[in-house]
Structure 1
Amino acid sequence: MKEDRRLPHKRDGFQVLKTKTAYVIFIVLTYAFGYFSAYYSRQPLQQQQPPSPAAVRDVKTTKPQVCSIDNFRVTTRCGNLVPPESIRQTVIDRIFNGTSPYTDFPPPHAEKFLRPKRIKGWGSYGAVFENIIRRVKPKTIVEIGSFLGASAIHMANLTRRLGLEETQILCVDDFRGWPGFRDRFKDMALVNGDVLLMYQFMQNVVNSNFSGSILPVPFSTGSALEKLCEWGVTADLVEIDAGHDFNSAWADINRSVRILRPGGVIFGHDYFTAADNRGVRRAVNLFAEINRLKVKTDGQHWVIDSVK
């Protein structure tokens, strides 16, 4: 009889264990037990003794895995050098199928949208241009970033005044401006998505009577500089004034050096302007430091002499 009285009590306890609350408590206790077991099992690893001074010295004197800057250099060779007097025709042949882009300019569909003269630039008339051109006496100038041609036309005026009649200026620009630039240049026409920058650039060149000295190279700086190198086109003087962020300036400088003649000069704008906040000066300084070159300044421009 006593045995019979205990049986219901055991069954009641079993029913309690089957409730949801008991199940949750069981799971929590299991998790806590596992967590603390794992924690204490790791303690000896965290309390390991620090390495001995000898071991530290061994690590420091072991030769590190150095990532050489050479891994980032472009090593492909440029083509056979084109004589300065043949550079203009080489570019016309390669890009414009042998016919000057100024032939029969302007095209009928664009003529009514062009102003006789619409020149705008930034830092395009600084003393640095005459200082360098007098010193270098360049036969070929490559300008990276031309927009409407203000600095190119200024350099053409200088070369003519200094008696450098044969100097050619190649203007590398995709002539697309930048997103939103028409907010500041509302008078620039838009025809089927074309902002006509190249045509207005050419109109400015023609109006200034320099169509025989200034030639557009209407491509991105990266692709244009690669092709100029491949074709053997070199320059005595390279001006860089295109993208002002670090990556663009860094890429333009390193690509431009490949087409610079030995003893040539590379220079650019925005070393002391608001654009420096985006990385122009950092790119210039890093390039000079890596290549053990000295950066000179002239107004808002940076100058690096005799790169090769």
Structure 2
Amino acid sequence: MLFQRYRRGLFITAFLAAPVTLYLVYVISPYIQAFYIATTDWRGVSATPSFIGFENFTRLFSDGIFWKAVRHNAALLVLLPLLTIVIALFFAFLLNVGGGSGGREGVRGSKLYRVIFFFPQVLAVAVVAVLFQQVFRPDGSGMLNGPLMALGIEPIGFLSNPGVAFWSVLGVMVWQAVGFYVVLFSAGLASIPRDMFEAAQIDGAGRGSLFFRITLPLLWDTVQVAWVYLGILALDVFAIVWVMTDQHGGPDFSTTVMAAEIYRNAFSYFRFGYASALGVVMFFFTVGFAIISLRLSRRERIEY
């Protein structure tokens, strides 16, 4: 018996040795290095950077551009999950429960709609950014401004007006994310027994009651996971902002985010120590958000 346990433990250790080693080398090691580089003035060329302690962090918290980036990430952290989940839940409910006889089936053609909703997920983020650059063009060739100008309305600077650019970026992010969560919530809805919806309707429940009293409580675990993933996406957003916006986060830093400032400081200004300090702060923001979200949304599991 003891020998069998030893052999089992040896097999598990041998099986996990390679992936754990790769994880330590390519994931944990860069994190450790980033913490160290954040305490130096390394510019990416010197072999022995000078240790400067917490000077980078002191400069960081007095940097106005950093606080702009933090505000934008914080706004995305609230708005992106909220808007995406609300829209995705609405469409998933329609596709699975909101149509058919007595509201127990999805709307006609729901399978086709799922494919259409999911299509943006197939596109690379950089491709989406380039596409929406054309959609938001401020001249007659823009898909939005062209019809406005044809009607004699002044074109809107979707990416050139500091008051509008952030909302344009948010809209693109929601557009791209919704499809995946429609499919995710649809999978969750498919696991809910139809008998529960039928029994509720026999008792006189309308579609609003079906959603708030049955669908949402039974999908709560899925919604919780979606909120965490979307929050991490909001903190980690980079490609959309860097590719789509003027001046890579402009105009006048009105769309910049922490990831964009990390890249700018590292590869434009060659301030790798300062960029690493930004990365460390972003790491704690992300981990803190995940922990707080999971604790606040914790509830008893509903069995059915």
Larger RCO, structures 1/2 (Cα 8 Å, 6+ apart): 2
Same fold (TM over 0.5): no
Task: State TM-score, norm by structure 2.
Answer: 0.25
Q: Which has the higher strand share?
A: 1
Computing the radius of gyration over CA atoms, which structure comes out larger, 1 or 2?
1
Give TM-score, length-normalised by structure 1. Answer: 0.24
